[in-house]
A and B are shown apart, each in its own frame.
Chain A
Amino acid sequence: MRALGVLWVVLLCACPGPSPVPTDAGVDGADAGGTFCQPPPAYAEVLSSCLPLASDYTPRVSASSTDAWPACISDTNLFTPLNPNISSIARVTAFEEIAALLWRDGVRPSPDDFVSARVAYAVDQGIDSRVQRREDVHVAEAPMPCSTAGIPEQYPERCAGPTKLLPVLNDAFAKGATGENPRVHAARIEAALTWFFYLSSLSEVMSCTTKPQDCDSSWAYYAGGTPRAAPLGLGKTIRALGVETHDRVYDATLAVRCWRNLDHETGVATDLVQRDTAREQLDRALLRGVALIVRQRLTELGCTTGEVHAANLAFLETLLPWLDRAARARDPVQASALQGWTLDVPAALAALDRLFPCP
């Protein structure tokens, strides 16, 4: 009886566990120094020889009246969302927040900035939630989604998000928060997120086959759901390096929307040939955009020093292996030259231009 009473009192008082105690990130690491290119290398994009393919959708040319596509909703040269609510825009907004904290405008992020950026990255239904299940649609589908236990390990190429992007992002956020080589880890995050948005824009085209609103997401993952002239996210980076390349990517997002407009817009799409035509236009243009980013980093290797230089190296070390599949599919020789960038930067630059000459 007494024991029971004691037990009861103990349980009644059984106080809840303690609240988490806010803890700080590491302290700023010593600035290893480093200089940026002054002035930054400027690449003058010349695409006069890069005419659109016959299969390309060209809304900027006579409202698409000269291409092979039937009249559709995108002929206005504006993206018309199927649904005004596009959740992927919030992920691009988070990317912008992360960029401002970690790398944009030459910032040297503090450990606290890395934690703040990681908070933005890890928000519920945010970038992290999608990285964890992002699939590379260039690779054959796995029997189960990549969110299934064991599938990423068995199908690492298809499950690019959990197997390739996630380890880099986890590691870079963690090391950045310790104050160690912040520019380097910021560059790794930028590279991984660049590839994430590239993969995402394409994978949404595929899922749009059954979920029409995913075409909106494809567009939003590229430019944050913005008008052509004021893109955010990956679109903003690409436009800063090549306006025409950006416009071609934007054309391709309109091609995706055009396909879906023509193909049972609110139901399940059946014209997979047209879908793949649009997707290939988008993939080609996006790859050219990513190539421009890589090109800029390769060029900057020659005029940066210290931690800034190391950050460029880290960016390229992170991103270039992922670009290899597309490069090798185009020209294995040039792909090898590109992968030998650490030995011969000019040769790698030349290979890059040959591999991805046109959007």
Chain B
Amino acid sequence: MRRWGLLVLLAAGRVGAQEDAGARFETTVSSAPAEVPSERAASEVRQGDLERRLPRRAPDALRFEPGVFIQQTAHGQASAYLRGLTGQQTVLLFDGVRLNTSTWRQGPNQYFFTLDAATVDAIEVLRGGASTRFGSDALGGVISATPLEAPVADGRFRLSPVLTLKGTTADSEAGGRVSVSGTAGPVGFIGGVGLRRVGLLQSAGTVRSPLDGRPPDVPRFAPDGRTQLGTGFNELTADGRFTVHPSASHELTLASQAYRQFDAPRTDQCPPAFARSDECLTYKEQFRTLTWASWKARLGVDVETLKLTASWQRQHEVREGARPASFVLNTGRDVVDTFGAAFTLGSRSFLVSDAVQWSLQAGLDSYLDLVDSQAFVSFTDIAVTRQQSRGQYVAGSRSLTGGLFADATLRLGARLTVRAGGRVGWASLSSPGDAASQSQPIAASWAPLAGHLGVEWAVASPLSLLVNVDRSFRAPNLDDLTSRQQTGPGFQFENPALRPETALTAELGARLRLDWLSLEGWGFQTWLDGAMLKQPRDVAECPPSSAACGASWFRYQLVNAVGLSEVRGVEGSVRARLPSGFGARATAAYTWGQGPGQVPLSRIPPANGHLELSWRHDFGFTGAAVLRWAGPQTRLALADLSDARIPLGGTPGYAVVDLRASLRVSAVVLSLVLENLFDSPWRAHGSSINGAGRGVMFLATFRPPSP
């Protein structure tokens, strides 16, 4: 155990400031993630946090992190806003593998939901632009999940099974996971299978418009006024990870994970506003499979660390829009295969003088997407199906993105550290077009640049000041350039003329670290140049072959805004360790966004945060009372006004109290959360669903002692 921990610390080169360090189990040795640079605005959620918070899904795990706001388009979909941006304007990583594909749509998407939180050792959140290291899309920030590590093999055969059971009352969730970890000969392994069934979600009632007191048009409620229609889903997950250490300084990993979600209605389209209650758009299949292999080495020469990763990801979804009263079934089926390769190396520290040393990290990454997309309309009463000429995307489209980067760190004395880096990116996209639907062929390439400069000044031992300037970019993806789809605000059609958007971010932070107190605050300003924003379009501008475009109440294209858009805000967090096992933690964030012409940016989160008071006993008990809150958001973009998810005039604020208790005794962990104690109706701004009403969540984990 001690050896593993030492190895891991060596490999990681960084120890996270986790809340529950030392409270780990043998089989879940932590490889403290090092994807996120320490000088940036960042926070981290560890497995112990997940065990106490009992998030319903991976995005919920970030609900208590500063500057992160979770929006939910459906019960089975959730997206994290980082500094007012989400979806394709943020980057998701799993074990360093980029999950973003070229079909991620603008605004919230469901793909962070396709990570099984039970397989995650830690999730790091970096707020602010980070394209130098992470490439296109990293405008708002980066979410990097690290999987549970396999134990290091020591030649013996050992096996440690774990059984986890989880349930909730508000949405009748029942699920569990069986996993094993162990070693056999030179191989360390960990893997498991999980499943859960989730029912209709009960809220605490309707959330009403601040203007006229009426509830928004979505979601639709059952007659009890609490149960939300268009919710519930089923889920199956599996993962496996095999690790070999040919020597103490080399590690080979082969890993795979599979996520299978079935029958997840898109709540705001199930039914759509004004439609019959039996009309529903359902994600029949929302699958993601990721397989990757990596080689990590600590060479002990000038090039000290090296990591090479090859990956394949398949993102597959089948959507069914059913109108049973008319026997109409619209089916969309999209598959994106992504082949990726990434190579990074890190130098040792070079001494220039006693007071000056520098190090370098550099790398190259590239991801190729191959897209297949189909659409069908079926009439179920006569068993006739017609294939449409194109799907949401054009089959045969391709996207190649990547870049070459270098990052240098210069330490000047004991108090000053300067970091700077740059990236030359590339993005090359093509689509064969589709004559029948008058979809143009596309062939576009860009070579966007990114860079950053940061200074960290350790003013005094516990206090640091940090200044960073970052230039990041997002190249248009295939969704922006080619998609035709019905979205929350209305019908989106393609714009082949888009060019990359860039974000220049300046941020100032301060960190105070004492034994009993940790305090961090950041202020930031981001200027988005050529931001891809929704531009309302007239019916006359619809593609002539797209009848659904003209029939929709709102139509838009993404266009590069002329002039600068701005996002600014402040974020803060404080954590205090108090006497007698008491503790306190609080976060707060405020974001303000505006496009050219002084128009608010769409779905900017309201001021939000949380306050947590906890008590821990050496016996293994932890208890906490948590207040989650958000202010009202009444600054709405034009697209927000036509979005049925947002109440007329904006989304009211909320304050929700949860109680948590967790007991860890020997081989058993029992966690209980009484959520929404006062049964307060609440809704995260921009969501299709209201949050859960009063209910209980529980988790029981059994780890039989190893023989």
Contact = CB atoms under 8 A, between A and B. Distances in A.
A170 B539 CA distance: 29
A237 interface: no
A7 B277 CA distance: 38
B538 A162 contact: no
Contacts of B328: 122, 128
A4 B327 contact: no
Interface stretch (A145-153, A242-250, A252-260): A145-153
B323 A126 contact: no
Contacts of B276: 132-133, 147, 149, 162
Given A8-B240, A128-B328, A170-B381, A147 B275 contact: yes
B384 A125 contact: no
Interface string B613-634: 0000000000000000000000
A213 B275 CA distance: 19
A93 interface: yes
A147 B159 contact: no
Nearest to B388: A119
A87 B550 contact: yes
B93 to A, nearest CB: 21
B191 interface: yes
A124 to B, nearest CB: 4
A94 B318 CA distance: 27
Contacts of A178: 382
Contacts of A19: 333, 374, 376
Contacts of B326: 122, 128, 131-132, 166, 169-170
Contacts of A7: 193, 238
Interface stretch (A21-29, A188-196, A292-300, A326-334): A21-29
B486 interface: yes
B327 A174 contact: yes
A129 interface: yes
A178 B382 CA distance: 8
A347 to B, nearest CB: 38
Contact of A177 (B321, B377, B382, B553): B382
A170 B335 CA distance: 33
B384 A89 contact: no
A229 interface: no
A20 B330 CA distance: 10
A124 B548 contact: yes
Interface of B is mostly: strand
A115 interface: yes
B19 interface: no
A1 interface: yes
B275 A129 contact: yes
A90 interface: yes
B176 interface: no
Given A85-B555, A87-B552, A90-B539, A20 B378 contact: yes
A21 B550 CA distance: 28
B325 A132 contact: yes
A162 B552 contact: no
Nearest to A25: B384
**Secondary structure class of chain A's binding surface, majority of residues:** loop
Interface string B545-582: 00110111101000000000000000000000000000
B324 to A, nearest CB: 10
B539 A14 contact: no
A98 to B, nearest CB: 12
Interface stretch (B45-53, B95-103, B281-289): B281-289
B38 interface: no
Contacts of B381: 170, 174
Nearest to B237: A11
Given A14-B258, A22-B376, A147-B271, A126 B238 contact: no
B547 A120 contact: yes
A12 B331 contact: no
Interface in B304-322: 316, 318, 321
A192 to B, nearest CB: 13
Interface centre among B285, B316, B321, B550, by most A CB within 10 Å? Answer: B550
Nearest to A11: B238
B356 interface: no
B256 A126 contact: no
Contacts of B289: 12
B550 A93 contact: yes
Contacts of A90: 539, 547, 550-551
Contacts of A162: 276, 325
A24 B385 CA distance: 7
Contact of B385 (A11, A20, A169, A174): A20
A345 to B, nearest CB: 34
A131 B378 CA distance: 19
Given A1-B180, A17-B318, A125-B551, A147 B386 contact: no
Contacts of A126: 547-548, 551
A148 B550 contact: no
Contact of A128 (B193, B260, B323): B323
A148 B377 CA distance: 25
Interface residues of A, number: 53
Contact of A23 (B279, B287, B383): B383
Contacts of B379: 115, 118, 122, 173-174, 177
B385 A94 contact: no
B318 A89 contact: no
Given A133-B275, A145-B274, A149-B277, A20 B376 contact: yes
A20 B550 contact: no
A234 interface: no
Contacts of B550: 87, 89-90, 93
Contacts of B330: 124
A91 interface: yes
Contacts of B275: 129, 132-133, 147
A148 to B, nearest CB: 6
Interface string A102-120: 0000000000000100111
A16 interface: yes
B454 interface: no
B551 A8 contact: no
Contact of B193 (A11, A84, A170): A11
A7 B258 CA distance: 12
A147 B548 contact: no
Contacts of A170: 325-327, 381
Given A16-B316, A115-B379, A21 B539 contact: no
A86 interface: yes
Contact of A123 (B192, B193, B318, B551): B551
Nearest to A169: B326
Contacts of A4: 178, 180, 191-193
Nearest to B240: A8
B274 A133 contact: yes
Contact of B486 (A86, A124, A148): A124
Interface string B320-349: 010101111011010100000000000000
Interface in A159-210: 162, 166, 169-170, 173-174, 177-178
Contacts of B236: 11, 14
Interface in B339-386: 374, 376-379, 381-386
Contacts of B239: 8
A240 B149 CA distance: 77
B154 interface: no
Nearest to B320: A20
A15 B384 CA distance: 24
A134 B407 CA distance: 62
A58 to B, nearest CB: 30
Contacts of B191: 4-5, 8
8 contacts: A16-B335, A21-B385, A90-B550, A90-B551, A125-B548, A128-B323, A147-B271, A177-B384
Given A22-B385, A177-B379, 10 more contacts: A7-B238, A23-B383, A84-B539, A87-B539, A93-B550, A125-B551, A132-B279, A147-B276, A149-B278, A177-B384
Q: What 8 A-B pairs come out closest when comparing CB atoms?
A: A90-B550, A125-B551, A90-B551, A124-B548, A11-B238, A149-B277, A20-B376, A123-B547
